[in-house]
Amino acid sequence: NRKVRALAFSGKNQELGAVSLDGYFHLWKARSTLSRLLSIRLPYCRENVCLTYCDELSLYAVGSQSHVSFLDPRQRQQNIRPLCSREGGTGVRSLSFYQHIITVGTGHGSLLFYDIRAQKFLEERASASPDSSPGPSGKKLKLTCGRGWLNHDDLWVNYFGGIGEFPNALYTHCYNWPEMKLFVAGGPLPSGLHGNYAGLWS
């Protein structure tokens, strides 16, 4: 079962990373022909569905059912411990890097932000009192998407009709840094349901 689920390209190294359904990360040299450099068994093998690369840190990140694993192909021992993201038990569905911050799109309709240097999630700011400035609240900073569109067909009526609101999995997101905007898109997680969501945050 070697179907490829995600790809990420390193322009700096001219390398292509790939994640396959059998729980492996593969690295290829992308010149005139593709030649495989290595294959690594991933520490978390269930639902490895997304992959991203950070040029500044020379680091790949792989999203799975409950974790994000970090891989530096040039290091035997990985220095950054995997982060656990049990957001509603629905897995990591999209990832992106900006410098040392990784944005995690979940299957439960949320975006989380993780600081790799500090090895912790960014936190919401508590509201300031008149004599103090706002500080961290201890709660993860989280953006949650809206309802989107869901086709209320026979499958939905028969199996999910009792559920009032259905979260959208966030399958992709990307930043427009010059304009400080974030585009997010996704749809229902369960197989067989049809729907979509798209949002633009600023």
Segment 39-77, tens digit of pLDDT: 999 988 888 899 999 988 899 999 998 899 999 988 877
Give me the half-sphere count of Cα atoms (radius 13 Å) on the Cβ side of residue 180: 1
Bridge partners (DSSP) of residue 84 are 67
Query: Which of the two residues, 12 and 162, has the higher pLDDT score?
Result: 12
**In this predicted structure, what is the pLDDT of residue 16?**
95
Q: What is the edge-to-edge ordering of all strands in the sheet holding 24-30?
A: 4-10, 15-20, 24-30, 34-41
- Kindly tell me if the per-residue pLDDT of 133 is higher than 70: no
For residue 58, give the 3-state DSSP assignment. coil
Q: How far apart are the first and last CA of the chain?
A: 41
- Kindly tell me if the per-residue pLDDT of 29 is higher than 90: yes
For residue 8, give the 3-state DSSP assignment. strand
**In this predicted structure, what is the pLDDT of residue 189?**
87
Between CA 166 and CA 148 the distance in angstroms is 9
Most confident of 30-34, 118-122, 158-162: 118-122
- Give the predicted TM-score (pTM) of the model: 0.86
Query: Which of the two residues, 140 and 132, has the higher pLDDT score?
Result: 140
User: Residue ranges of the domains in the chain?
Assistant: 4-122+139-201
Between CA 28 and CA 33 the distance in angstroms is 10
**In this predicted structure, what is the pLDDT of residue 2?**
76
**In this predicted structure, what is the pLDDT of residue 156?**
84
Average confidence (pLDDT) over 2-8: 90
May I ask the CATH class of domain 4-122+139-201? mainly beta
**In this predicted structure, what is the pLDDT of residue 169?**
94
